[in-house]
Amino acid sequence: MQRGRCLSRERLRVVPAGVAEKRFASAVIGGSWSRLFYNMAVKTWDVIIIGGGIIGMSLAIALRKRGVTVLIVERGEPGREASHAAGGMLVECQLETPPALQPLATASAGMYPELAHELEVESGLKIDLRDAGSIVFPSAEHLDEHPGFAAKNLLPAPLAELEPALVDSKRVCFYLKERSVDPRALSAAAHKTAKARGVDFSSGDAAMAIKVSDGTATGVTTTKTSFTAAKIVNCAGAWSGQISPTPLPTRPVKGQMLCLVMQPRNLLKHVIRTQDVYLIPRSDGRLLVGATVEEAGFDKRTVPETIQRQYRFALELVPKLRDARILEDWAGLRPGTPDALPILGATPIPGYYVATGHFRDGILLAPITAQIMANVIESRDPGFDLSPFSPARFA
């Protein structure tokens, strides 16, 4: 019998004492004594993860594979913040990836086919992992910094053959053999897989502080209650810095996007990236158009003028998108850091760890972050040099 299997807040609620006694008696009379006793006996976990985005859920699944009991404490609904708002491009291009992050980005991108297969088999859901690649129109600055890059990544065919609907502007462009994934489907599959593997969830209750006793982390205090565990991992994304006592210099970086329904549904096959906009086709005919990078605090409202500007950029690239229906628009909050690198590793408080600040690469880096942090939590070799990502660099 696994500890922690039944204490999800999706299935168990804290009730007043008088009500609890009545339910207890009813349970005994109704023959469900073993289930009730089992829930009552669960009080601690090996690891508590703060944050139920794709980073937190991927880590939880990795830890459960190693026999570790896990509780995820999520302020809202699992997978409904930055993960839900992301575009899902698995970008590992050296033009766009900081050098320190390149080894992790490359390794994580390579893990996606196996991850997709695993999640689809265990959850029964499709995550739409696509490998058509990307057509990139780089800036002049990028070309100056990486001379010869475009020549090494020539288009496999004329642009008019690869994407007939795309306006051929005669600008320099190149092809990258990248993948993309639907982050919403990915998050839903990870959530379902995590629950099936015995991960517990406390949803709708924000973590406020790490409980510390004799200098060591012992649990998490939320707005409504508290939980106990020997090890805590802060995966709270843009909200990571709000959890005391160790300050983290994370901040929300707003991104606005919209989604179109292509006519026909295969109007575009490749991801298209320019300085102004990127276009991400989905297999079901949706097309994501994004995304802004704004310092707007925790404001998640969309601005009509901004959405219309993105729409115009998309039309300039693909005039036939005038026939596309606008399905929705939204804004998400990426977790930014002062140096645009994630924060990974142990904090000065024994038993307290951090995996946050992934900025625009949370979807891409989820598999490798889960592997690395599971190793760190178990005092194993992480397999990579984590010094560029250490929490101590902001001390």
Give the CATH architecture of domain 134-176+251-336.
2-Layer Sandwich (3.30)
d(CA 328, CA 310): 13
Give the H/E segment covering residue 115.
Answer: helix 102-123
DSSP letters spanning 350-369: TTEEEEE--GGGHHHHHHHH
Nearest to 243, CA basis, from 261, 264, 222, 260: 222
Q: Domain 43-82+186-249+340-394 has what CATH class?
A: alpha beta
Predicted local distance difference test score (pLDDT) of residue 310: 98
Give the residue-averaged pLDDT of 210-239: 97
* Residues in CB range of 257: below 8 A, 6 or more apart: 85, 87, 288, 289, 290, 291, 310, 329, 330, 331, 332
Above pLDDT 70, what percent of the chain? 89
pLDDT tens sequence across 32-45: 333 333 233 456 99
What residue spans define the domains of the chain?
43-82+186-249+340-394, 134-176+251-336
Q: How confident is the model at residue 177 (pLDDT cuts 50, 70, 90)?
A: very high
The per-residue b/e assignment along 144-176, b for 16 or more CB within 10 angstroms, e otherwise, is: eeeeebbeebebeeebeebbebbeeeeeebbbb
pLDDT at residue 21 tops 50: no
User: Greater confidence, 139 or 87?
Assistant: 87
Predicted local distance difference test score (pLDDT) of residue 370: 98
pLDDT at residue 98 tops 50: yes
Predicted local distance difference test score (pLDDT) of residue 316: 96
Q: Please, what is the average pLDDT of the chain?
A: 90
d(CA 53, CA 83): 6
